[in-house]
Each structure stands twice: as C-alpha cells, then as structure tokens.
Amino acid sequence: MHTLYDVLKKEIVDVMRHMEDRGLNYGRSGNASIRVKGTEYVLITPSGLPKASLTPSDVLVVTMDGDVVEGVHRPTVEMPLHTTIYRRYDYVNSVIHAHGIYTTALAVAREPIPPIVEEMVIYVGGDVRVTEYAPFGSGELAERAAEALMGRKAALLANHGVVACGYDIQEALEVLTLVERVAQVYLLSRLAGRTTTLPEESVELQRKLFIERLKRNSPSTEIP
C-alpha cells in the first residue's frame, strides 16, 4: 500500500512531466511543492535535475525551516519561495514556479496582466501583479512574491517567471495553465491593436466568486 507521501511525490512528478509536455516549463528550470496538511513538512522538487525525468524517489521531504528530512538530492534553490508563501497563506497547500514563454515574456517586460477574461478573476483573483526584481533563490524574492500574491493565486517574478498556488497541486497547475494562456491572449490582443479590460462591476462580481471558492477550502481565512 502506498503511503500518503508516496502518493504526493507521484503527483509532483506527474505535474512536472505534464508541464514539460505542454510547454509550461522546460529542462532543469521550475519547481513544485506540496505542503503536507496538518504537519510542518513540505514535499519539494530537487535542484539541478531535468524536471520531466524525475522519479518519486527524487522528491525531497523538508521542514518549513528548510531542513532535509528525506531525500538524497539538494532541494530547489527556490525553497524559500515555497515556504514563505506557506507561512503567509494558510489556504495554500501547493506552489508551482515555472518559466513558461508568455508569462516569462511579461515578467521580463515587468508588465502585469490586467483582468481581461472572466475566468482570470474567478480562479486567480484579478490582475496578475509583477514583483520588483530580486535574485533567484533569495529571501528577498520570496518576500516580494508572497506580497504580490496577496488576494491572488499567481504572480509574475520580474525577469524570471511565474508562481502559482492552490489548495492542492491540481489547482496550482490549473492556475498556472490559465495564467500562461491569458498571458498569450494579452500579448496577442496588443498585437491586434487593442486590449480591453473587463468592466469594473464585472470584476467585482467575479472577485466575490473567487473569495467564496477560497472560503470553501479555508473557512476561517481572512481574504484581503
């Protein structure tokens, strides 16, 4: 019988392969984690390995303080990004960081994604903000990302990529996929000559739906 950790490790491996297949990430870049509910443990991808060829045994178990409990590899250098987000938001149980083409293009341009389609507000929370630049793997980057995620489930990391989160890893992947697609639509609409955001009253209505969905997963959470 598989233990819970075995199941969660396989989920991480499957998601990383899916991301490579769909062009959401590539090569040795990107990372993903799952917080084990009710514990201080996090399952997280290793550093320096091709993510599409990971096996469950490559996934590490670490504490929220970054100590390795299980695994033979070094954890991703972005571990502070993951643990900082978990400490800040108790409704987040999975974090994915990726280097998709369109989200990274906007991160390099340091341009946020405005609310241009309804599902973006319902599932992400509204516009996708861009952090100020900070070096990869740094505590400064982790803090800036966590700040940009306030009231949202995704953020762009300046000159770097995107971070998405969710109640579980499937939701985090859904958010990541949606944001990459909306980034593509946004760039194409600008090439077409015009980008029109949703009406403010529509954003407010969809924002309420987003908050309702969050509260179903974490009833005691205060949502900014």
| Active-site option among 78, 147, 171, 174 | 78
DSSP symbol at 112: P
Active site includes 143?
A: no
- Pairing outcome for strands 60-63 and 94-98: unpaired
Q: Are strands 68-70 and 94-98 parallel, antiparallel or unpaired?
A: unpaired
Q: Which residues lie below 8 Å from residue 153, measured CB to CB, with a gap of 6+?
A: 123, 124, 125, 164, 165, 166, 171, 172, 175
Interior/surface letters 180-213, b for 16+ CB within 10 angstroms, e for the rest: bbbbbebbeeeeeeeeeebeeeebeebbeebeee
Torsion of Cα atoms, 126 then 132 then 138 then 144, to 10°:
-40
- List CB contacts of 148: < 8 A, sequence separation 6 or more: 129, 130, 131, 155, 156
Q: In what order do the strands lie in the sheet with 60-63?
A: 68-70, 60-63, 41-44, 31-35, 94-98, 161-166, 154-157
For the annotated catalytic residues, the residue numbers are 78
